[in-house]
Structure 1
Amino acid sequence: MKMNLSTARVARASARHPWRAVAAWVVGLGVAVALIVTLLGGALITETKLTNDPESARAEELVRSRLGETDDTVDEVAIVRSTTMTVDDPAFQEQVERLYADITALGADVVAGGTHYYLTGDESLVSADRRTTLIPLVIPDGARAEIGQVHRIVERVGLDGAFQVLVTGEATVDAEITEVAEKDLAIGEGIGLSVALVILTLVLGAVAAAILPMVLAIAAIIVALGVAALVGQAIDLPFFVINVITMMGLAVGIDYSLFVVSRYREERAKGLEKVEAIATAGGTAGRTVVLSGLSVSLALMGLLITPDSGTRMVGAGSLLVVIAAVLASMTLLPALLGLMGDKVDAIRIPFVRRHASARPAAATGGFWYWTARAVMGRPVVSLVLSAGLLLAVAIPSFDLKQGEVGVSALPDGLMSKEAFILLEEEFGYGQDLPAVVVIDGPTGAGSVVAAVTRLGAAIAADPDFVTSTLEVHPEADLTILRVWLAGDSANQRAIRAVERLRADLIPAAFDGVPATVMVTGDTAGLVDL
């Protein structure tokens, strides 16, 4: 059966039995909303994983298998600073001990452990001017959402102005990024929908006709989010998949339905009966929508084979909303047109010419008419020029820098951003996210010890590294060197430093040494993308 016949039949059936189609969509939307409310929130995560077994993942697995360490905790750090006192003042000590007691009193379910300078005497927890100290905290991975309780304690302490107290770490950054993303999404949706409605109204010349594409886009988004909530029960979804589905849904939902609505109005203006006009629109514009949806879907499937789980889910979310938009344009839209009929032109905008016209195409003229004639008259020249323009625009992508947005790129005013700046000023590194050098070899062998010493000296002489600590585990034949990076662990300076660590410093230090050396950590994971 030909494509135009099948799409025309679907459109005709929906137009003849509009209430059945609308009822089916209402039920589907109700189920989708229920899934979103009950399941979507618990399926969202803030981390992504690489699935191609990169060096960073192998190093983590080695540490886990040898030492029994797990990924069930995340590190946070509270920062206490005074402009008038040093850590040697009794009042400063009293403040730190009281803050630590309040935080740990939240219980092991929220804060699994921690330490501070007055417990250990560790001078690395104190800044050079002795006015700032760090309180390292260990948060259970399952309690990331509870980090707000720690934030509230810290905020109360800082109210009197005597001390500046901040918290940063994976849980804090994740919580603030999620909050910012949700606010930006709400603002973006409001602006996007408003602008789209104004443009559609001007293009179509009637408010009712302009609202239909918006309704279709929103329906497609809701259905896609509902299906994503189901998928999220088996596969973790990055939180930004909501933004992707919303953005893509507005784009394709409006675009696809605009084709059908415009063609329907043209056919009605030519005198076709309502149902036949809808069927004709479905067999022409509807076929274009289906082919476009198939093309976009095939392109998005390419994202499903990438080694980054976040990119895969972006592709999956986009694919879901494109399919939903095509289905809505083929079934729900013809049903709504069947119910509205010529009321689709209701609330006309004065001075805006009616979009549809019964005049023959040759008499329409206009910019696009003459552009199409020029392109079809010189197809080879047009192909060369358009392909050349597209290639020229694509040239910058060859030097695309992949990675993630670091803390330094977050909006001002966020606690994690302020803590990053303070850490960088007082301790030389903005985040407690070191590169972790994992050395698999006999810890007592002289050649291994000498190589570790050479590597430590090279790191100490490199300005892109701030400091390092060494852990030796002779029972597991494993040595771990943690190296703190200058500045933001996600910026290009940190990425280049880890690349140089792998390509230059480690090979030079371990040349001829019977040991396997790998680098892991957050920055190493970005390098492995």
Structure 2
Amino acid sequence: MFYRWGEIAYRFRKFVPVAIIAGILALFALEGTQLGIRMSQEGWDDPRSSSTRAAHIELETFGRDNSGDVILLFHAPDGKTLDDPAVFQQANTYLTQLKAENPEQIAHVTSYFEKKNPKMVSPDHRTAFAAVGLQGDGEQTLKSFRAVEDKLTPSTDLGGAKVEIAGATAVADSLDEGMAGDIKRAEVVALPVVAVLLIIVFGSVVAAGMPLIVGVLSILGSLGVLAMLASHTQVNVFAQSVVTLLGLGLAIDYGLFMVSRFREELAAGRDTKTAVANTTATAGQTVVFSAGMVIVALSGLFVFPQAFLKSIAYGAISAVGLAALLSITLLPALFGLLGANVDKWSIRKTAKDESQWESTIWARIPAWAIKHSKLVTVGIVAVLLGLTLPLAGVKFGGINETYLPPNNATRQAQATFDETFPSFRTEPIKLVVTGADNAQLAQIYQQANAVEGLTGRFAPTKPTKDGTTVLSAGIQDRSRNEDVVKQLRALELPDGVNVYIGGTPALEIESIEALFEKLPWMAIYIVVATFILMALVFGSLILPAKAIIMTILGLGATLGILTAMFVDGIGANIFNFTAGPLMSPVLVLIVAIVYGLSTDYEVFLVSRMVEARRKGATTDTAIKFGTAHTGSIITAAALIMIVVCGAFGFSEIVMMKYIAFGMIAALILDATIIRMLLVPAVMHLLREDNWWAPRFVQVAADRMGHGKQPATVAAPAAVAVPTAPAAEPTAATEPAAPEEHPIDIPLEDLDVDTTPVRGGRSVDADSELIPFSELMKRLQQD
């Protein structure tokens, strides 16, 4: 199927690029440019939780609680207090005009300067605050903030007083700006560096441009798709950064593998048409199934109820799918147009002597691992398990101002407010009480105020309305959120009274609970799904099982490294972040991404081993051949992905740093000790068991095209076959007709096993050495 697809791409090589590029540019122009105004800041909650129900009841009864939207902190000039007549009057005038001049954006302003409320000024009267409530619900709140943001800093000096901006909406805006900076950094820094790396890898400007074309187009297309989704469902603003990171990195990786294989085909003497078809049938097929692994891992996010995770899945899946689609449509067509010109504008010679592949470092490293297989296996597994140990100390929390850099102005203002006015919280814990009379409400009020960990007593936010009362209180420290919620759940409620625990602290706790309730189901789904896919790719049940175990080992080590960094604080000063609890949705997200990337590289590596094995190579030779022919490409791909991730590692947002450094750690582990050492060592220990699978699995793999590999132009001298008529070839041994699929590996370069292989195992049979051409005739007759 993929071979034919390559032929079609070659036949329509002039039409395909024009149609695809025009289509993607049109999609981005019509939809992608609208993404910014369609994205949401929401989606972190479990829509089925008590906290969500509490928020809905409060919104329907009283409207949105906007008291913590924006906090303006006023600091008196040196030698004065805020009660100084000049300072007090100018501050009051400024706030009055702010409300009067922006009625469409500001709902109310409550300040110390209005009625001299003693609770709104510090004991020394040098710091006071004004609470600015914004108009609108949901996304309109942030739009209202941005419309008046410049006016929140007074143009006059207010008698020398200084103003800082804090509050929940101000923090959300700073987080949003940080993510926008991530995208720009990727465009301005990562792309040029990646371009230089590709030129170094390929030694040709034209060849280097091919993966970049796929990367840029996949990003534009996926942003267009994301914008379309955002017009119909909630898409969190964080999705854009993840889409850019994954889409750009994987698209360039896929392009890298395709270009490398096409150049390899040309170097073997194929004409352009055959080289294009062979590239699509081999590297293209692998790209599609590798993308399938990543998509399966990301689709596991749909198990969770949070809209945030679903929106990330929508965007990332569209980016990965589009990258794979472009790799098997646009690139083959461009290859057909370029032919040998793919090496044009070369800066260095990159031709390799294929007969010397065993002498390359990429073959010598796995050869050493094979020679010391037991020591390598035990040693690397011990290292990976050791790196996993910090994961035992992981802690979880919610998104807040601590996800901003320590020197961020909004974060510093929020910290000052929390410290100066401990009885006020912009994110309080709430009790939404329905169906209670005055006596019952008093009973609940008395129990609630006995809860430990609060900044003060619960108090009603507004008078009771339609039998509904909302009580609100602050929590002393975020580390006590879970304990406070647990105590509130234990309240003894009168008959007929309902109490819903709401507010941001409850939302965070219930979100964590929902995630860990669904996490086992996600794990089962992605493990089973990727196992089935890899079984169809490899025609084996042992190789997928090995791959999944190694992926889990690498994932555990990655999460351990992240915990040591972001919870325990290793490197916090260097990378400008504050250690603390992790957002549980981001942990789930990194699990999906790292699992998908690991299986992605596994497919690229082992597919080449399987390809060699099906042509008669022994297990050890197949291991070395596959590693030698993919090691440099996988390393280059990992390096490019690390560069892209590195751009996001400088993000101002901790959760983006978490994802970027998680991917960097996973890529380093995966491309070095796991793929180059652990995989060869374990496969050597498994020997012939690597290739075992029931007959129906091999048949299924064969029907999907994995059992038929291209045939070689140059015929090897001889190969061992049974003298008696052979049974119907299995998926592991059946060759393709030479006129349809030319082979890419000369068998004389392989250590060919002299016993026939059936069902993945060697069997005894009399054999003789015959010319390769005679072998082809016999197999065709059979």
After TM superposition, the score normalised by the length of structure 2 is 0.60
Counterpart of 1:100 (choices 65, 87, 95) is 95
* Secondary structure in 1 matching 2:160: coil
Task: Find the aligned partners of 2:376 and 2:3 in 1 and give their Cα distance.
Answer: 33
Contact residue 358 and residue 364 of structure 2 kept, 8 A: no
Q: 1:2-81 to 2 correspondence within 5 Å?
A: 6-65=1-60, 67-70=61-64, 75-81=69-75
Contact residue 431 and residue 502 of structure 2 kept, 8 A: yes
Q: Deviations for 1:75-133, whole angstroms, at most 9, x for unmatched residues?
A: 22222220333343322321222111221123321112222234344222112211222
Task: Find the aligned partners of 1:471 and 1:277 in 2 and give their Cα distance.
Answer: 72
Q: 1:293-308 to 2 correspondence within 5 Å?
A: 293-308=291-306
2:310 corresponds in structure 1 to 312
Matched, 1:442 2:436: yes
Q: Deviations for 1:185-241, whole angstroms, at most 9, x for unmatched residues?
A: 212333222332232222222222122111111111111111111111101211121
* Secondary structure in 2 matching 1:112: strand
2:402 corresponds in structure 1 to 408
Task: Find the aligned partners of 1:357 and 1:106 in 2 and give their Cα distance.
Answer: 72
Q: 1:259-270 to 2 correspondence within 5 Å?
A: 259-270=257-268
Q: Deviations for 1:243-264, whole angstroms, at most 9, x for unmatched residues?
A: 1111101221111111111111
2:238 corresponds in structure 1 to 240
Counterpart AA for 2:154: R
Task: Find the aligned partners of 1:394 and 1:52 in 2 and give their Cα distance.
Answer: 33
Q: 1:181-192 to 2 correspondence within 5 Å?
A: 181-192=179-190
2:361 corresponds in structure 1 to 367
Contact residue 448 and residue 513 of structure 1 kept, 8 A: no
Counterpart of 1:273 (choices 256, 271, 274) is 271
Shift of the alpha carbon at 1:454? Answer: 4.3
Shift of the alpha carbon at 1:24? Answer: 1.1
Contact residue 224 and residue 317 of structure 1 kept, 8 A: yes
Q: Deviations for 1:283-302, whole angstroms, at most 9, x for unmatched residues?
A: 11111111101111111110
1:213 corresponds in structure 2 to 211
Counterpart AA for 1:10: W
Q: Deviations for 1:371-422, whole angstroms, at most 9, x for unmatched residues?
A: 4556789999988877776665555556543444421342355442232132
1:422 corresponds in structure 2 to 416
Distance change >3 Å, CA 386–CA 296, structure 1 → 2: farther
Which range moves more in the overlay, 362-371 or 420-429? 362-371
Task: Find the aligned partners of 2:228 and 2:374 in 1 and give their Cα distance.
Answer: 48
Task: Find the aligned partners of 1:279 and 1:425 in 2 and give their Cα distance.
Answer: 67
Shift of the alpha carbon at 1:49? Answer: 4.1
Task: Find the aligned partners of 1:173 and 1:243 in 2 and give their Cα distance.
Answer: 18
Contact residue 301 and residue 309 of structure 2 kept, 8 A: yes
Which range moves more in the overlay, 286-295 or 93-102? 93-102
2:480 corresponds in structure 1 to 497
* Secondary structure in 2 matching 1:130: coil
Task: Find the aligned partners of 1:527 and 1:151 in 2 and give their Cα distance.
Answer: 31
Kindly indicate whether structure 1 or structure 2 has the higher relative contact order, using CA contacts under 8 Å at least 6 residues apart. 1
Distance change >3 Å, CA 46–CA 284, structure 1 → 2: same
Shift of the alpha carbon at 1:511? Answer: 3.7
Task: Find the aligned partners of 1:331 and 1:71 in 2 and give their Cα distance.
Answer: 52
Task: Find the aligned partners of 2:49 and 2:34 in 1 and give their Cα distance.
Answer: 32
1:114 corresponds in structure 2 to 109
1:519 corresponds in structure 2 to 501
Distance change >3 Å, CA 106–CA 394, structure 1 → 2: farther
Q: 1:348-367 to 2 correspondence within 5 Å?
A: 348-350=346-348, 354=350, 356-357=351-352, 359-360=354-355, 363-367=357-361
Matched, 1:465 2:455: yes
Q: Deviations for 1:336-380, whole angstroms, at most 9, x for unmatched residues?
A: 112222222123234xx51x53524x7443233244556789999
Which range moves more in the overlay, 432-441 or 447-456? 447-456
Task: Find the aligned partners of 2:66 and 2:154 in 1 and give their Cα distance.
Answer: 29
Q: How many residues align?
A: 506
Shift of the alpha carbon at 1:57? Answer: 0.8
Counterpart of 1:432 (choices 426, 434, 438) is 426
Task: Find the aligned partners of 2:46 and 2:443 in 1 and give their Cα distance.
Answer: 35
Distance change >3 Å, CA 388–CA 283, structure 1 → 2: farther
Counterpart AA for 2:91: V
Contact residue 357 and residue 363 of structure 2 kept, 8 A: no
Task: Find the aligned partners of 1:380 and 1:371 in 2 and give their Cα distance.
Answer: 15
Counterpart AA for 1:497: R
1:490 corresponds in structure 2 to none
Q: Deviations for 1:131-183, whole angstroms, at most 9, x for unmatched residues?
A: 22221111113252242453323333465770111222233222222222212
Matched, 1:453 2:446: yes
Contact residue 17 and residue 333 of structure 2 kept, 8 A: yes
**Structure 1 residue ranges without an equivalent (≥5):** 1-5, 487-492
Contact residue 25 and residue 221 of structure 2 kept, 8 A: no
Contact residue 438 and residue 480 of structure 1 kept, 8 A: yes
Distance change >3 Å, CA 226–CA 133, structure 1 → 2: same
* Secondary structure in 2 matching 1:105: helix
Counterpart of 1:133 (choices 119, 128, 135) is 128
* Secondary structure in 2 matching 1:180: helix
Matched, 1:231 2:229: yes
1:3 corresponds in structure 2 to none
Task: Find the aligned partners of 1:78 and 1:498 in 2 and give their Cα distance.
Answer: 26
Task: Find the aligned partners of 1:483 and 1:158 in 2 and give their Cα distance.
Answer: 35
Contact residue 91 and residue 158 of structure 2 kept, 8 A: no
Task: Find the aligned partners of 1:317 and 1:288 in 2 and give their Cα distance.
Answer: 22
Which range moves more in the overlay, 280-289 or 196-205? 196-205
After TM superposition, the score normalised by the length of structure 1 is 0.86
Which range moves more in the overlay, 431-440 or 156-165? 156-165
* Secondary structure in 1 matching 2:124: coil
Counterpart of 2:326 (choices 325, 328, 343) is 328
Q: Deviations for 1:434-473, whole angstroms, at most 9, x for unmatched residues?
A: 111233452422x6524423432544xx3x6356533575
Task: Find the aligned partners of 1:323 and 1:472 in 2 and give their Cα distance.
Answer: 50
* Secondary structure in 1 matching 2:37: helix
Counterpart AA for 2:483: R
Distance change >3 Å, CA 134–CA 160, structure 1 → 2: closer
Distance change >3 Å, CA 303–CA 100, structure 1 → 2: same
Contact residue 304 and residue 315 of structure 1 kept, 8 A: yes
Contact residue 59 and residue 438 of structure 1 kept, 8 A: yes
* Secondary structure in 1 matching 2:154: helix
Shift of the alpha carbon at 1:429? Answer: 6.7
**Structure 2 residue ranges without an equivalent (≥5):** 512-782
Over the aligned positions, Cα root-mean-square deviation in angstroms equals: 3.0
Task: Find the aligned partners of 1:402 and 1:7 in 2 and give their Cα distance.
Answer: 45
Contact residue 428 and residue 472 of structure 2 kept, 8 A: yes
